[in-house]
Each structure stands twice: as C-alpha cells, then as structure tokens.
Amino acid sequence: MENVRRRVAGWRRISFTSKLSQVFFNTDGSIHYKIFGQGGGGSERLVLLSLGLLNVVLLIVAVALGINCAKVREVSLHVSHSTATQLITELDYLRGNHSKAVEAEEEAKNALDISRKKHAQLKVEIELQKATNDNYWRQIGVLQVEKTRLQSNISALEGTCGRCLPTWILHNSSCYFFSYIESTNVRKNWPDSRADCVGRGADLIVIDNQEEQKFVSANIGNLRGVQNVRGNGFWIGLTDMDTEGNWVWINNVTEVEPRFWMDGEPNDVGHHGEDCAVAVYSPNNPWKTRNDGSCHTNTLHWICEMKSS
C-alpha cells in the first residue's frame, strides 16, 4: 500500500472503494486507475464481465433504436410521397381547369367582338334605312302635294281658266305658295319670308276660318310628315311684335281663337323675341298647329297667299 502511495506522488487521488479500486486524475487532465480488492483477479473479471454485459445491452438498445428510426423514416417518406403525389395531382387538375378557363375567356372575347361588329354594322344599316325612309316620305309628301296641286289646277282650269300661278295651290278663292315645293333646302327668317311673298305679288298667309286651317295643316302634313314637328314648321302672317301677348295678323285682324296654339304655346322661351307664329302639323290634334318662334333667329319655310285671278 505504501508502494502505491509512492507511485502516485504528485497526483490527486479519489477513492471510490477502499478495497476495490482507486482512480487518479493527472494534472494534465488524463485519468489513471487501479483496481484493488480481495481475491485479486476474480474481482477484475467480475468488473470486466459487467462492462461487457453493459456493452451488449447498449448495443441491443442502439440496434433497436436504429430499427425504429428506420421504420419512422420509411413511414414519413411514404406519407410525404403520398402527400406530394396528391398535391401534384391537384396541381395538374387546377392547371387543366385554368387552361380551359383561359380558352373559354378567349372564346367569349371573340364572340363579344363579333357581336359588337355585327351591332355596329346593324346600326349603320338602320341609319341608312332610316335616311332612305325619310327620303321616301319626303318624296311621297311632295307627290301628294303635287297631286293636290294638279287636281286644284285641273279644277281651276276647268272652272276659272287657270287662276293660280304654276306651283301655287288653289283653295276656294285664294292661291297658296308653300316654299318647300319650290326648294326643300331654302329657309328664311320671318321678315325675309314675308319679303319673298311680297316679291311674288302676295303676302304671308292669313288663316281666318276653320276650313282654311284644315287645308294648311293637311298640306304641311303631306309635305313634311310627322317627324320633328316643330322643326318642320312654316312662317305665317301672325305676330305680337307691337304688344307682347297680343297676336295680330298682317291684315290688322287680332287673333282671338286660342285653341289653335299647341299646349304651352305661345311661351316666348327665354324672352328672346319669339314674336312670330309658326304653323305646324299635329297628328294628335289638327287644331293645335301653332307655336311662336324667334322672328330673326329661326329660319323656316313659309306660306304665301294671294287672291286668285
């Protein structure tokens, strides 16, 4: 025992079992141990056997852990593979649907473009047809007036030996000139229209009875139709230039019959000098055929009247 103590001089000694072993830690950190005990080699074999059994147990545990880890990894890989396969399948399905949606959108756009082109083409055709119809109606109106004029002229020639000038219409004892018959494009304001009538040896028309009122309205309807009633009017010889609201014919006869005015007329819109009367065609009421217009601003056709010869 003394020899051992001498051999480990300078070492720090830790004794776990006074009779079995001693473990020494060197100052440089290394470990040195020696086993002691009763019976000598038998104790050492017992310790070695215990360590060997411990190693076997540890090896078995390690193998078991490795097998379990492998199984867990295999299951995880299988689950991951299944999930990935499902995701890929869903992705392919979504891509297919997206492609179909894009194709459907393109088809819808093409169909919309075709519909728009057809609509535009149809609109143009409708406008052309409308213009053609308007032209036909104008021609029909002119022909109807011409028919009336010719019939009147025939009657006049038969009974009076031509009492009205060409293009004038005979009615009762007066001849009437509708400027629209001579020119569909020439329009004048009220003063210039009256000047034209005076230059023809006549004056603007004076409507002084119901029969004449119906005659004028019917001829305007035949000439201009029912489209744009106010814009298709004719100047007549009725004004309130001297006194606002007091309508007087150019022969100085005051107009006292209010029923010939259209609803809401005369209204002198904006007080801009709507002092001259306009005769129009009213498809709803043949008596409501007048409105007021600006004598100098508005340009319309006109009606002249003179006594037959």
* Nearest CA-CA partner of 307 in 119, 199, 175: 175
> pLDDT class for 204, splitting at 50, 70, 90?
very high
The predicted structure's pLDDT at residue 169: 92
Spell out the residues 6+ positions from residue 251 whose beta carbon is closer than 8 angstroms to its own.
Answer: 206, 237
Can you tell me the mean pLDDT for 49-73? 80
> Could you tell me which residue, 187 or 140, shows the higher pLDDT?
187
Residue 274 near residue 260 (C-beta atoms within 8 A): no
Over 90: is that where the pLDDT of 36 sits? no
Whole-prediction pTM value?
A: 0.50
| pLDDT (tens digit per residue) in 95-118 | 888 888 888 888 899 999 898 999
Can you tell me the mean pLDDT for 122-126? 91
**Residue 42 C-beta-side C-alpha neighbours within 13 Å:** 3
Can you tell me the mean pLDDT for 268-297? 83
Rounded Cα distance between 205 and 207, Å, is 6
The predicted structure's pLDDT at residue 309: 76
> pLDDT class for 237, splitting at 50, 70, 90?
very high
Q: Give the SS3 label for residue 259.
A: helix
Identity (one letter) of the amino acid at 217? S
| Distance from chain centroid for Cα 153 | 57
| pLDDT (tens digit per residue) in 82-99 | 787 888 888 888 888 888
**% of the chain at pLDDT higher than 70:** 75
> pLDDT class for 270, splitting at 50, 70, 90?
low
How high does pLDDT run on average in the chain?
79
| pLDDT (tens digit per residue) in 149-176 | 676 656 545 544 468 888 899 998 899 9
> Could you tell me which residue, 188 or 40, shows the higher pLDDT?
188
> pLDDT class for 73, splitting at 50, 70, 90?
confident
* Nearest CA-CA partner of 260 in 279, 241, 233: 279
Q: Give residue limits of the domains in the chain.
A: 163-307
Assigned CATH for 163-307: 3.10.100.10
The predicted structure's pLDDT at residue 188: 96
Rounded Cα distance between 235 and 4, Å, is 151
Can you tell me the mean pLDDT for 38-62? 75
